[in-house]
């Protein structure tokens, strides 16, 4: 077991160099290329005849043995994707439960319903206050690495199309909810669609955002929905890391006030966490680490890690 573990996360200097040479780039995409140390954060070394392991970037090691395990198991079981997606949806729910935990907000989870005897799962999460409804769709799939590297690649088109399908699926679920077909009871308040992704999709260039909007409109038409929905009910895309902070701002400011504030378009698909500081500088928003009790229970048997968590306020 130990040897198998290290075979997956450690390589020789020659092996690392070979991987780096195979994927190196010297054009505008160089900063987005994958680093082989992300896969092999430990490097075999030999110092005066003593063999050991060197960790050039400890953060890569931490990521490899946590979220990096995704790449080891994603192809091992055809059911893994669905289970991983469900786990991510549950995690988003835990975040919502902690952030929107006062009497101003109500939180509803996914509830299956039927349309023409066909089951539909509906919106993943709905957060409501007296001003509006935040409808959340959780998407665990990541942007393919080649799509991050080349702006004009087929990989980018495929990834954008994948995200557009998720957005349109969300619009369909919202349409069902507004029509009274789902278990949610319409309350007459505005709806703000939000797609929460596991990782950041780097949607910050006008060209990429335009491609996403075009793909969304195309799929809306294909599904028989109004292609004007992105204008009448604009959607947001944000990573869960960004939302953990932005959600705390929404809880303080209110759903409608946050989602209709001037300047939101610049943060609609990227860096949502920084929007409140720009749009509401007068608001004293306290941001806190989330799920502190869970973190402490996970590492209660590792005093060294636990002490570090306590030192940063967890």
Residue 136's pLDDT is what?
A: 98
- pLDDT tens digits in sequence order for the chain, 314 residues long: 667 778 888 999 999 999 888 877 777 666 667 788 888 999 999 888 888 899 999 888 888 887 777 767 766 666 777 888 899 999 999 999 999 988 999 999 999 998 888 899 999 999 999 999 999 999 987 665 555 555 557 777 888 999 999 999 999 999 999 999 999 999 999 999 999 999 888 787 888 899 999 999 999 999 999 999 999 999 999 999 999 999 999 999 999 999 999 999 999 998 999 999 999 999 999 998 887 777 677 667 767 666 666 665 55
Burial environment of residue 245 by CB neighbours within 10 A (0 to 12, 13 to 18, 19 or more): buried
- Distance between CA atoms of 267 and 288, rounded to whole angstroms? 21
Residue 268's pLDDT is what?
A: 92
Residue 314's pLDDT is what?
A: 56
| Domains located in the chain, CATH noted | 2-71 (no CATH), 77-279 (3.40.91)
Number of residues that this document lists for the chain:
314
Look up the pTM and report it. 0.80
Residues facing residue 50 across a β-bridge: 47
DSSP 215-284: HHHHHHHHTT--TTHHHHS--EEEEHHHHHHHHHHHHHH-HHHHHT-TTGGGGSSS-GGGHHHHH-TTS-
- Distance between CA atoms of 302 and 47, rounded to whole angstroms? 30
């Amino acid at each position: 077991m130990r040897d198998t573990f290290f075979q997956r996360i450690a390589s020789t200097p020659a092996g690392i160099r070979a991987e780096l040479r195979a994927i190196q780039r010297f054009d505008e995409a160089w900063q987005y290329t994958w680093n082989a140390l992300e896969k092999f954060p430990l490097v075999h070394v030999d110092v005066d005849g003593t063999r050991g392991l060197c960790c050039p970037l400890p953060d890569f090691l931490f990521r490899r043995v946590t979220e990096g395990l995704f790449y080891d198991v994603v192809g091992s079981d055809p059911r893994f994707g669905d289970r991983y997606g469900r786990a991510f949806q549950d995690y988003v729910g835990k975040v919502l439960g902690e952030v929107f935990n006062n009497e101003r907000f109500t939180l509803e989870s996914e509830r299956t319903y039927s349309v023409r005897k066909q089951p539909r799962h509906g919106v993943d999460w709905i957060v409501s206050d007296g001003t509006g409804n935040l409808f959340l769709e959780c998407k665990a799939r990541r942007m393919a690495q080649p799509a991050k590297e080349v702006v004009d690649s087929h990989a980018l088109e495929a990834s954008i199309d994948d995200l557009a399908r998720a957005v349109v699926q969300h619009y369909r679920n919202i349409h069902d909810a507004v029509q009274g077909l789902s278990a949610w009871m319409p309350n007459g308040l505005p709806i703000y669609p939000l797609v929460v992704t596991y990782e950041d999709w780097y949607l910050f260039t006008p060209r990429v955002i335009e491609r996403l909007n075009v793909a969304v409109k195309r799929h809306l038409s294909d599904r028989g929905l109004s292609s004007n929905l992105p204008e009448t009910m604009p959607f947001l895309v944000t990573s869960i890391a960004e939302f953990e902070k932005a959600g705390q701002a929404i809880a303080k400011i209110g759903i409608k006030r946050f989602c209709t504030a001037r300047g939101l378009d610049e943060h609609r698909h990227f860096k949502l966490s920084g929007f409140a500081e720009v749009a509401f500088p007068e608001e004293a928003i306290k941001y806190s680490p989330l799920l502190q009790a869970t973190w402490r229970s996970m590492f209660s048997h590792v005093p060294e890690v636990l002490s570090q968590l306590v030192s940063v306020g967890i």
